[in-house]
Structure 1
Amino acid sequence: MPIDAAKAVAAEPRTGEISWTPKDVLLYHLGIGAGVPATDRHELRYTLESRLHVLPSFATVAGAGAPGVISGLSMPGIEVDLARVLHGGQTLTLHRPVPAAGTATATGRIAAVHDKGTAAVLVMRTEVADTDGPLWTNDAQIFVRGEGGWGGDRGPSTRLDPPAGEPDKTVERPVREDQALLYRLSGDWNPLHADPEFAKLAGFERPILHGLCTYGMTLKAVVDTLLGGDTTRVRSYATRFAGVVYPGETLRIRMWRQGGAVRVAVSAVERDDAPVLADTVIAHM
């Protein structure tokens, strides 16, 4: 079996220094669709360095995403075909607001390997801290198709009961035709998002949008709509990637207030509201 779960979990963490500047933050914001309209005062807080507010989901790409998913797939005990890999879910926990520039230490490891029968799920944990203490923790759930079935632990279920009642707010956000090409400049170079031939090998009709791009677009919509544009109010953000998005489509983002959290469901408008993000919870102050 290409995945040795015990060896992967027991492997020494990989630690390295990461750094980022306002330019990296601005590029990320443009990659998730900020800046439309370009002169709107609310958008300028994402696109003008003198007013810069950092959307917390930038933490998923800070330091070009190091150690990152691709790095994690080369950890001891793991040898997989990249064409079989899909991002299954993401959980981000903020310990402090993300600064617009910084240098920090990122420590990455395989926190768990789950056997889902037809696939293996790798939980890649990255903990980031600077000289003042912890900044954020990222957990990426990575599906590796065809690598399950060895009788291992299935892991916890991430499925939640659907939100009750009509959403408190629904917005639509267009995905540009070149969105994936722009977003990948923040560090995710997987050819699945740019190369038509590679996308077909992976079973898709054409390149798909990065799940983390949809993740960022969704968080921005919630912050702008329900959190008064205050990026520092976000405490955590968890989602399951329920389906793909193709560049050029439109996201329909439904939001439900639940005390100190917002439940969210995201779908692709042009494909009869096909689910894109599910079991999504944004905790906030």
Structure 2
Amino acid sequence: MLQYDVVKNWPFEEVQQTYTYKDTILYALGLGLGEDPLDKGQLRFTYEKDLLAVPSMATVLCTPNVWMRDPKTGINHAHAVHGEQDLTLHAPLPTQGTLKAVTRVTSVLDKGAGKGAVIEINRDLLDETSTRIASVRQILFCRADGGYTAQGGRSDAPTQTLPSVPEAFPDIEITLKSLPQSALIYRLSGDWNPLHADPDFSAKAGFSRPILHGLCTYGMATRAALQLVCNNESARLKRIAVRFSSPVFPGESIKFQMWRAANNAFHMRARIEERDVIVLNNGWVELF
């Protein structure tokens, strides 16, 4: 059974990571950037001359250990899935350097027996002067852990919700093709889960073949936003948040759709038209 006090007060250690421009380029290549080596917009993220970092790389930097597998949490980690990802930039992400992260659990919500529990985790990335570069907010949906309050555990109030996309034709859209080898490249940025590489492992999990990392699809959404509304100027992106709806298979084409909102913001959704499935929903993008 999920242990509210243990989870809510989990003692995350400060994580420090040094990365180079090669890591920044590798991350971009994992998102499919560089597929057209003559495209100067893509070269801004894949060639060391005047290199820019894709802002969503902040989601893979200074990540904590897989703490949920600790029996003290009481979490059935085998049934925990990534529900939402939310990134806010406070300054441009450096293309290389040393960052440190301070991580905390900010909310644990019991949705009820048979309905799961929701955990919100926030991670601040700081540079060597302790200047905050980015805030990373992650929502985990623990499908098998609902109803723990019936045994005396506490529950927090619901967290902020992402807005639904308009019921109208999108204002702008772009289709990006993931590479057949996308997952094999992207995993080199830090997520070594065999679900994204081992056909036998993914078959046991119920998939016909390895699936793309959710954060790779999220990174591709960032790539789409940069191209559609930022003119590939990464410093213009302030926030990008999405809800994960369905997995993507490497090699599939993803259509990213955006709707203009007020105050320099946009709604976003992503879909696989060949399978008629939405893979990212309730997306929200803000610009500086």
Does TM, normalized by the shorter one, top 0.5? yes
Matches of residues 45-194 of structure 1 in structure 2 within 5 Å?
Answer: 45-63=44-62, 66-67=63-64, 70-74=65-69, 77-80=72-75, 82-117=77-112, 118-130=115-127, 131=129, 133-151=131-149, 152-153=155-156, 155-156=158-159, 158-194=161-197
Taking the aligned partners of 2:157 and 2:180, their CA distance within structure 1 comes to 37
Aligned to 1:247, the other structure's residue is in SS state coil
1:83–1:202 contact (8 Å) kept in structure 2: no
Q: Deviations over 1:175-199 (max 9, x none)?
A: 2221111111100111221223332
1:115–1:155 contact (8 Å) kept in structure 2: no
1:179–1:247 contact (8 Å) kept in structure 2: yes
| Equivalent in the alignment of 2:231 | 228
Taking the aligned partners of 2:171 and 2:32, their CA distance within structure 1 comes to 23
Shift of 1:230: 0.8
- The answer to whether residue 270 in structure 2 is matched with residue 266 in structure 1 is yes
- The answer to whether residue 26 in structure 2 is matched with residue 7 in structure 1 is no
Shift of 1:165: 3.0
Taking the aligned partners of 2:36 and 2:179, their CA distance within structure 1 comes to 14
2:165–2:259 contact (8 Å) kept in structure 1: no
1:250–1:268 contact (8 Å) kept in structure 2: yes
Aligned to 1:276, the other structure's residue is in SS state strand
Shift of 1:271: 0.5
Change in 2 beyond 3 A, CA 1:113/1:206? farther
Task: Name the amino acid aligned to 1:248.
Answer: G
Taking the aligned partners of 2:58 and 2:164, their CA distance within structure 1 comes to 28
Shift of 1:38: 1.3
1:84–1:144 contact (8 Å) kept in structure 2: yes
Shift of 1:214: 0.5
Taking the aligned partners of 2:53 and 2:227, their CA distance within structure 1 comes to 13
Shift of 1:84: 2.1
2:123–2:136 contact (8 Å) kept in structure 1: yes
Q: TM-score, normalised on structure 1? A: 0.91
For structure 1, which runs of at least 5 residues remain unmatched after alignment? Answer: none
Q: Deviations over 1:157-209 (max 9, x none)?
A: 62523325321212111122211111111001112212233323333333211
| Equivalent in the alignment of 2:278 | 275
For structure 2, which runs of at least 5 residues remain unmatched after alignment? Answer: 150-154
- The answer to whether residue 250 in structure 2 is matched with residue 247 in structure 1 is yes
Change in 2 beyond 3 A, CA 1:11/1:91? same
2:85–2:138 contact (8 Å) kept in structure 1: yes
Taking the aligned partners of 1:143 and 1:193, their CA distance within structure 2 comes to 20
Q: Root-mean-square deviation (CA), in Å? A: 1.9
Taking the aligned partners of 1:192 and 1:158, their CA distance within structure 2 comes to 29
Taking the aligned partners of 2:177 and 2:164, their CA distance within structure 1 comes to 28
